[in-house]
Amino acid sequence: MKQTSSSHVVLAHGGGGELTRKLLSERVIPRLANEFLDPLTDSAVLPAVEGEICFTTDSYVVEPLIFPGGDIGRLAICGTVNDLAVMGARPLALSVGLILEEGLPLELLDRVVDSMAAAAKEAAVPVVTGDTKVIEQRGGSGMTITTAGVGAMRAGFRPGAGLIEAGDRVIVSGLIAEHGLAVMAARESLGIDSLLKSDAAPLAGLVKTVCDACHTIRFVRDPTRGGVAGVVADLVDDAALGVEIEESALPIAPAVRHAAELLGLDPLTVANEGKIVIVVSEEDAERALEACRSHPLGRAATIVGRIVESDPPLAELITRIGGRLVIQRPYGEELPRIC
């Protein structure tokens, strides 16, 4: 297909001139429309909020751009919302920066922006400002997205590893390892046809439900890159306490487990985009669990472990057969192996 400025991104789309204006006004802005974005001022103006504000930024690079259960757009919105959500905050507004590679089909851009709009609506958080740049083709996936988000902190609630105590329980809000495996399985070079779908979802509502029900929530984090293993390893460092996770308690769907075996991956290290790890006091654990399960995104929540005194502080997996091994932060990219 011959690439023209009406079918594909060209360098001029990023030039700031007529093509840029058209791209934004015809394709991007109408899809994201909301009262804060529509004035199209250099900066969006937000109403004042009471209390502290939290602020996050993130960047999204994923191959392939579209995968079962989502795409880079959904990932970007949900990921940023979730960075705010795990602070216990109410997300207020998002910004989106698009870096487009020359040659990206405009149809694909439309699809991603539609997806961002849908995710923003689902999360009830507007995209209030943004930016678009075009770079020369460099054989990447075609698009990078950078975001920022602001949220209103919940009064009197500042979750963090410093609050964690021995005896606390560790809850996972649902089936793990879905996102990372869905994306890996979707890579064309592997020739895998899969039913696996990314679990990307905005979690502010789930976190609010849990925090409304329990006042001894210590710590909340979304196990994205690095998976549950990454969160648990960080937690141990930050809290200077040990963690014991029961392998048999981990909620993993059979299809996910089998795909992990196929690709030689450890589900504990695989990214999740629609789950949270919660640390809660022992006495509130059941209540937190029920609160999670009462929410559509937390139906499969499970208590998977406990915080323990340990010197040096170690994260350990108690295996199915009662053995133990250390859980560490995984290194870098997990790749399909023969061995």
CB-wise, 57 or 248, nearer to another protein?
248
Q: Is 137 a binder of another protein (CB under 8 A)?
A: no
Residues 306-335 that bind another protein (CB under 8 A): 312, 314, 317-326, 328, 331, 335
DSSP state of 200: -
Q: Which of 4, 35, 47, 254 binds another protein (CB under 8 A)?
A: 254
* SS3 label, residue 241: coil
Q: Which is nearer to another protein, 3 or 194 (CB)?
A: 194
- Cβ 11 vs Cβ 134: under 8 Å: yes
The one among 24, 152, 163, 192 contacting another protein by CB under 8 A = 192
Contact between 257 and another protein per CB under 8 A: yes
d(CA 174, CA 252): 8
222 sits in the region (left: phi over 0; alpha: psi -120 to 50; else beta) called: beta
d(CA 315, CA 244): 6
Instruction: Find all residues with CB under 8 Å of 115, minimum gap 6, and list them.
Output: 70, 71, 73, 74
Please identify, using beta-carbon distances, which residue of 155 and 325 lies nearer to another protein: 325
User: Is residue 21 close enough to count as binding another protein by CB under 8 A?
Assistant: no
Pick out residues in 169-188 that bind another protein (CB under 8 A): 185
Give the range of 74-82, 113-121, 202-210, 255-263 binding another protein by CB under 8 A: 255-263
> Should residue 190 be labelled a site residue for another protein when binding is judged by CB under 8 A?
yes
Task: Pick the closest to residue 60 from 46, 81, 44, 40 (CA basis).
Answer: 81
Three-state secondary structure call for residue 51: coil
Residues within the interface to another protein (CB under 8 A) = 185, 189-196, 254-255, 257-259, 261-264, 266, 312, 314, 317-326, 328, 331, 335-339
